[in-house]
Amino acid sequence: MARPRAPLLQGTLDMLILQTLRSGARHGYAIARWLEETTRDALQIEEGSLYPALYRMERKGWIEAEWGVSEIGKRVKLYSLTPLGSEQLRIEASQWEHFRAAVAAVMRTA
């Protein structure tokens, strides 16, 4: 099933991850799965790139990590949103909405 895959827009990965974590703590693989399922794999995400993004956001204090146990019984890092991260998500989402509306407006004309 060769569906078209769009390249990810620069800077939106953080927003997507934060959005993913809104519903609760997840480990990295679960985030990848969730993104894949919600977008029906429409985004070309190299899954490895999730991890540097996670580390970066942890460093910025947007998310925090905790050791938990995975479904296959292994130790795994579970990421969850911090209040600072929620705030960041709100900002990025509204920016994104502006951007989307502007692009859509242009595309509707002519």
Partner 1 sequence: MTRQSTARTRQSTARTRRKPMRRLLRTLFWKIPVEQEVEEEVAFHLEMQTRRYIAEGMAPAAAREAALQRFGDPESVREECRAIGHRMEVEMRRTELRHELRQDVGFALRLLRKNPLFTAIALITLAVGVGANTAIFSVVKAVLLQALPYRHAERVVVIWNGYDQPGLEHAAIAAAEFADVREQQRTFDGVSAISRQRMNLIGEGEPEQLTGYAVSPNLFGLLGATPRLGRGFSAEDGKEGSEKVVLLSHALWMRRFGGDPAVVGRAINLGGRLRTVIGVMPAGVGFPDAPVGFLSGRGDLWVPYGWEQARAESRGDQYLGVVARLRSGIGIEQARADLDAIASRFRAQYPDRYAGSIRWSLVAVPLRDQMVGDVRTALLLLLGAVALVLLIVCVNMANLLLARGAARQRELAMRGALGAGRGRLARQLLTESMLLSLAGGALGVLLAWWGAHMLVRLDPGNIPRLDGVRIDGEVLAFSLGISVLAGLVFGLMPALQQSRLDLRSALQSGGHGSTMGRGHWRFRNALVMAEVAMAFILLVQAGLLVRSFAALQDVDPGFHAEGVVSLQLSIPRAKYDSPEKTAGFYRELRSRVAALPGVEQASAVYPVPMSGESWGGSFIVEEQPLAPGQPEPHAEYAVAMPGYFRALRIPLLAGRDLTDQDAAGAPEVVVVDELLARRSWPGQSAIGKRINLIGQPEGTWSTVVGVVAHVHNAGPQEEGEPQIYMPFLQRPQRPFFVVARTAAEPAALVPALRRAVRAVDPDQPVTALQPMPRLLDGAVARERFNMLLLSLFATVALVLSVVGLYGMMAGLVHQRIHEIGIRLALGGSPGDALRLILGAGIRIVLSGLLIGLAGAIALSRSVAALLFSTQTTDPLTYGTIAALVLLVSLAATWVPAWRATQVDPLVALRDA
Q: Which two tokens stand for residue 16?
A: 């997507």
Residue 4 in contact with partner 1, rule: CB under 8 A: no
Q: What does the per-residue mask of binding to partner 1 show for 12-51, with x meaning CB under 8 A?
A: ---------------xxx--x-------------xxxx-x
**Which stretch, 5-13, 78-86, 88-96, 102-110, contacts partner 1 (CB under 8 A)?**
78-86
Contact call for residues 14 and 52 (beta carbons, < 8 A): no
Who contacts 88 (Cβ-Cβ below 8 Å, separation ≥6)? 14, 18, 62
Q: Which two tokens stand for residue 79?
A: 């990421």
- Which of 5, 11, 42, 66 is the binder for partner 1 (CB under 8 A)? 66
- The number of residues in the chain equals 110
Residue 91 one-letter amino acid: I
User: Contact residues for partner 1 (CB under 8 A)?
Assistant: 27-29, 32, 46-49, 51-52, 55-56, 58-59, 61, 64-67, 70, 72, 74-77, 82-84
